[in-house]
Amino acid sequence: SCSYQRFVNCYRCFYKLQPQLTRSIYDQFISQLQASIKEEIQEVKNEGNLEGLFSSLDKVVEEAKDREEPAWRPSGIPEDDVRSAMVPYFLKHRSYLRRVLREKEEENRKVAESVLMGRDRIAELQQLIQARQQAWQ
């Protein structure tokens, strides 16, 4: 194999003296390296609860199979990614705020009309009082 040839090239002097022992050392080195890598992967899985995360990811993938539009993917440009996520939210929030503003303006208009009607009624009552006061005197 290619990796064995590189190993032999690194230890050429040793290989010339004992080729079988060099092969044995290489095989043992590779098996220990593979075992070590597997242990590291298992530790990362255990520490990060990756099994649970992978199962939840599988569930998300399974749920998304029926969706027609493609899933969102980052573009690699943070400004564009933030814009694509935040602009729809802000537009929706703006329309909500505009609706609330219209409702409040309508409410304020009704209150202002009520205040004006009250003032008119007060003015009428004052005139009525003055008229009765003058009639009484």
**pLDDT computed for residue 7 by the predictor:** 84
**pLDDT computed for residue 3 by the predictor:** 85
Q: Is the pLDDT of residue 72 over 80?
A: no
C-alpha distance from residue 39 to each of 2, 20, 30, 48, 98 (Å): 25, 29, 14, 14, 58
Rounded to two decimals, the pTM is 0.41
Q: What's the rounded Cα separation, in Å, for the pair 63 and 66? A: 7
Q: How do the domains of the chain map onto residue ranges? A: 1-48, 89-136
Q: What is the dihedral of CA 51, 81, 97, 92, to 10 degrees?
A: -70
